[in-house]
């Protein structure tokens, strides 16, 4: 296969590009597609459907939020097990040979060239597309707040997680704190700052790459995936979270 | 003119891509070319040759350092007055209507679309190319330290500057401090940390965009341009600075 032909196949998807809202939504773990030339990486059907392969519900929730917030949305075209777009290519877990309790056979013994091919096929086009959206908005003078949307599994390494809605920040915590405050006021969700992960776990790569260099307010949202497992649940969650995000935006604007 | 035709014309230049050294040199203000469709922006010949248009000597020094350090080099194709590649598109001084004591007629009254066209023609391709180099190195497991090379004018707003060699850091100051220490040991240069500018002046955009998100050691070097005005001076300066950078690298590796 030629590298060139791979590169053109796996661009990011951009929806609602000309939406008027200040929020730009990003969903790096939107997909559990396992396209050629990599294929299923030796996973079972059940694994390929489960949280190890993607963030179930995150894309559906992102779209429901995009509609309510008049927000643009950038999302990923393939499983994070082929390449985790929220990790730099110098991170072992960008192409993890093991994730939680799952071995990933197709990620064992990758050569430097294997890693390069995946980074050039998936990581570079995704982040180039996302940067192009940000640059376009900033050059045009449009307010921009970067929000990444993730979901997490209710049981991890055998432990049940009580938190329902986590808000994670990197160096700039303004938007994350405003969201937590609004969620505590407006929603019945069990909400926590920097749960179930924090920047110390290396999960804020997209924020560091695209928000911090431009001084853009930003946050990473984590929703427990059993709360967004059906279309009805997704709509209900979006209806709870949209006013939370709007209130946080308004707080920032007053700030 | 079509935007597409502009975009393909102004890619970054990459030299010594497969050089074995850990240092990746970047020269954002390498060029005083004023290509169509923008042209000279109403500047005089003297202005177009002067530091307001570019960093005189910086590309020559970068090349002389690249040879001595076995380093790759990424440099800009056009004047910083058309687009300053070390500034995000939300910064007024990315396309400055005035710089030091100079009015820039062609940068007055730019529309949002003018700004967008320049950002898409110059900023995006440059940083996409630079990111591709970094991603390639990291995916292949190659050590990478990002060093940007600038020059500054000896007289600014009528004030003479005594510093000859400035080393500027952003959040991660390890490499900058190692370079200053080595310069004080090994060179006769009047060297200072965070002179004649610092991160507070908004001059570390390239470092924030390309080094910080990957945890790469980095620094921005500023050389007074009267010390690199002739080929002989450039070679002499490169011969002073190459061992300084090698020593700083070795310090980092021990650290």
Distance CA A147, CA A244 (A): 13
Q: Residue A226 CA to chain centroid, in angstroms?
A: 17
pLDDT for position B197: 92
CB contacts of B202 in chain A (<8 Å) are none
Q: By mean pLDDT, which of A20-29, A83-92, B98-107, B243-252 is the weakest?
A: B98-107
State both tokens at A45: 């059907």
For B217, which DSSP code?
-
A89, B147, B151, B169 from B175: Cα distances, Å:
22, 9, 19, 8
Q: Which residues of B touch A123 (CB under 8 A)?
A: 135
- What is the per-residue pLDDT for A3? 41
Under a CB-based contact definition with an 8 Å cutoff, are residues A25 and A147 in contact?
yes
Q: Is the pLDDT of residue B6 over 50?
A: no
A127 touches chain B (CB under 8 A): yes
Q: Please indicate whether, in this complex, the C-beta atoms of B136 and A116 are within 8 angstroms of each other.
A: yes
- pLDDT tens digits, residue range A230-248? 999 999 999 999 999 999 9
- Contact criterion met (CB below 8 Å) for B210 and B134: yes
Q: What is the pLDDT of residue B253?
A: 84
What pLDDT does residue A9 have? 65
| Residue among A90, A128, A139 whose CB faces B89 most closely | A139
The pLDDT of residue B49 is 95
Residues of A in contact with B132 (CB under 8 A): 120, 124
Over residues A76-96, mean pLDDT: 97
Chain A contact for B215 (CB, 8 A cutoff): yes
B interface test, pick of A90, A119, A123, A171 with most B CB neighbours within 10 Å: A90
* Residues whose CB is less than 8 angstroms from the CB of residue B232 and which lie 6 or more positions away in sequence, other chains included: none
The mean per-residue pLDDT over the stretch A23-33 comes to 98
Secondary structure of chain B: what % helix, strand, coil (to 5)? 45, 15, 40
Q: Provide the residue count of chain B.
A: 255
CA distances from A71 to A65, A143, A216, A220, B131 (A): 8, 12, 16, 16, 27
Nearest residue to B245 via CA among B193, B181, B173: B181
Q: Determine the Cα–Cα distance for residues B143 and B155; give it in Å rounded to an integer.
A: 38
Contact A147, A24 (CB under 8 A): yes
Chain A closest CA to B114's CA: distance in Å? 9
Residue A156's pLDDT band, with cuts at 50, 70 and 90, is confident
Is 80 exceeded by the pLDDT of residue B244?
A: yes
Contact A139 B116 (CB under 8 A): yes
Q: Rounded CA gap, A54 and B4, in Å?
A: 35
**Can you tell me the mean pLDDT for A186-193?**
97
% of chain B exceeding 70 in pLDDT: 96
Task: State the pTM of this model.
Answer: 0.95
**CA-based Rg of chain A, rounded to a whole angstrom?**
18
In DSSP notation, B157-199 reads TTEE---SEEEE-SS--HHHHHHHHHHHHH--S-EEET-S--G
Q: CB A115 to CB B209 under 8 A?
A: no
Distance in Å, alpha carbon of B204 to nearest chain A alpha carbon: 9
Q: What is the pLDDT of residues B31-85, one digit of tens each?
A: 999 999 999 999 999 999 999 999 999 999 999 999 999 999 999 999 999 999 9
Distance CA A147, CA A108 (A): 32
Out of A112, A171, A215, closest to residue B139 by CB: A112
Question: Is A199 near chain B, with CB under 8 Å?
Answer: no
Question: Are residues B90 and A215, on separate chains, in Cβ contact within 8 Å?
Answer: yes
Average pLDDT over every residue of B231-239: 98
Nearest CB to B138; choose among A89, A171, A208:
A89
Distance CA B67, CA B71 (A): 7
Report residue B153 as tokens: 């004018």
User: Domains in chain B, start-ordered, CATH in brackets?
Assistant: 3-254 (3.40.630.40)
Interface contact flag, B138 A90, Cβ < 8 Å: yes
Q: Are B199 and B168 in contact (CB under 8 A)?
A: yes
pLDDT in tens, B162-217: 999 999 999 999 999 999 999 999 999 999 999 999 999 999 999 999 999 999 99
**Residue B72 pLDDT:** 98
Residue A5: per-residue pLDDT: 39
Of the candidates B141, B208, B213, the beta carbon closest to that of A88 is on: B213
What pLDDT does B129 receive?
96
**Is the confidence at residue A21, as pLDDT, over 70?**
yes
């Amino acid at each position: 296969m030629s590298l060139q032909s791979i590169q053109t196949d796996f661009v990011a998807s951009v929806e609602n590009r000309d939406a008027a809202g200040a929020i730009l939504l990003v969903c790096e773990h939107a997909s559990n597609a396992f396209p050629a030339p990599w294929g299923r990486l030796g996973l079972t059907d059940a694994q390929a459907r489960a949280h190890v392969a993607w963030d179930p519900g995150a894309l559906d929730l992102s779209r429901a939020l995009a509609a309510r917030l008049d927000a643009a949305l950038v999302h990923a075209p393939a499983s994070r097990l082929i390449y985790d777009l929220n990790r730099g290519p110098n991170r072992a877990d960008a192409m993890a040979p093991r994730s939680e309790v799952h071995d990933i056979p197709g990620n064992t013994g990758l050569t430097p060239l294997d890693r390069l091919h995946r980074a050039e096929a998936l990581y570079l086009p995704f982040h180039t597309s996302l940067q192009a959206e940000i640059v376009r908005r900033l050059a045009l003078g449009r307010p921009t707040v970067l929000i990444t949307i993730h979901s997490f599994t209710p049981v991890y390494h055998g432990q049940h997680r009580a938190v329902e809605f986590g808000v994670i920040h990197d160096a700039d915590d303004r938007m994350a704190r405003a969201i937590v405050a609004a969620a505590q006021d407006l929603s019945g969700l069990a909400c926590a700052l920097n749960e179930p992960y924090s920047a110390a776990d290396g999960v804020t790569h997209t924020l560091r790459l695209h928000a911090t260099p431009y001084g853009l307010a930003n946050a990473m949202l984590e929703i427990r995936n059993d709360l967004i497992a059906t279309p009805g649940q997704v709509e209900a969650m979006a209806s709870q979270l949209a006013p939370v995000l709007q209130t946080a935006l308004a707080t920032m604007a007053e700030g």
